[in-house]
Amino acid sequence: MNVATDFPLREYNTFGMDVTCARFVQIDSADEIPKMADLFDTPHYILGGGSNTLFTDYYNGTILHPAFGGIEMASQSTPTSEGTSSSSVLLRVAAGEPWENLTNYCREHSLYGLENLTGIPGLVGSAPVQNIGAYGVEVKDCIEKVEGYYTDTMQPFCLTSDDCHFGYRDSIFKHELKGRCFITHVWFRLSPQPRFTLTYKALAQALEGREPTLDSVAETVLAIRNSKLPDITQIGCAGSFFKNPVVDQAQHAALLNRFPDLVAYPTGDGMMKLAAGQLIEKAGWKGRREGDAGIYPKQALVIVNYGNAKPEEICNVYRQVIADVKDLFQVTLTPEVNII
């Protein structure tokens, strides 16, 4: 464990906000967590790769950063409904392992399931909290269970995928267990046989006429991401800033009368999911810039820091976007990013 005071966080958040925290604790082993009960009794925030966080000011508390990694493999057979066995592989991955390392490991070991999530920044421990997703896949589709500690009792937990109450960019860790647990490991069940999800239109079109492979799908996903999203080493951002809003059938029909080209997808429960990026673009924000803060020209879902934007400038942009979309569509956008 390493502890520092008045610690600068600019290198620990992909927005590049130049803020500090009162205390920064780097956790080098999951075994250290049960010994840290006193820290969890004070204001604290668990910060992984900082790719889904907007710091708005000095953080007068303790930042807890998991720096322990590792990927363990365990193969086993699972029974099918026909009574036969199908092969699968379980990976137990430490919370501090970079997500990119995990997707690269899967490619190197020919494990299928996470290839559509290639290129997402951050650490593995954050994946179940957000139920990260991209190009037709959500991480819940591959999560077997999640391990960690309840921070009020320091007792270990092991939650199954069902226990995690996964939803669209949502989980139990954002609700009942928000601020009450520290994830240490995530278990993934993956397939050693080819198994692809090619429901995302642009991905399917890019692979049309070719037999998909693990490498070709992953490389195509990366190409699509890079064509739409900024390089976070050059332009600060937190990826998609807003969730895609969900409306009922009546509101969707009313919106279609006004905007016939409106993109929407059924959610399976009688609701329709709108494309937040399209709403933002129609509200006139795509590519708009105010000082060093603005909306990325290639993807309206992404708020960016062009260099030296202050937190209040980023906040002004996202609040104005919410207000303008609300005025035009009577739809309220919700940030996907944690605003601290």
Question: Each residue of 145-180: pLDDT tens digit?
Answer: 999 999 999 999 999 999 999 998 899 999 999 999
Look at the pTM and tell me if it is higher than 0.75. yes
In the chain, the percentage of residues whose pLDDT exceeds 90 is 92
Determine which one of 23, 107, 169, 189 is catalytic.
169
pLDDT of residue 339: 96
DSSP 100: H
pLDDT of residue 78: 53
Determine which one of 240, 258, 281, 313 is catalytic.
240
Q: Answer yes or no: 319 catalytic.
A: no
> For residue 73, what are the β-bridge partners?
91
Q: Answer yes or no: 23 catalytic.
A: no
* Separation CA 47–CA 49 (nearest Å): 7
Question: Stretch 308-319: mean pLDDT, rounded?
Answer: 97
pLDDT confidence bin for 76, thresholds 50/70/90 = low
pLDDT of residue 269: 85
Domain ranges, ordered by start, for the chain: 2-66, 71-190, 236-339
- CATH class for domain 71-190? alpha beta
Question: Stretch 33-42: mean pLDDT, rounded?
Answer: 93
E-assigned strand segments in the chain: 2-8, 20-27, 44-46, 53-54, 59-66, 71-79, 85-94, 133-134, 137-138, 143-150, 156-160, 181-190, 236-240, 246-248, 264-266, 271-274, 289-290, 293-295, 302-305, 338-339
Tell me: pLDDT of 286 over 60.
Answer: yes
Report the CATH number of the 236-339 domain.
Answer: 3.90.78.10
2-66 carries CATH number 2.60.40.10: no
Q: Answer yes or no: 240 catalytic.
A: yes
pLDDT confidence bin for 84, thresholds 50/70/90 = very low
* Separation CA 224–CA 79 (nearest Å): 36
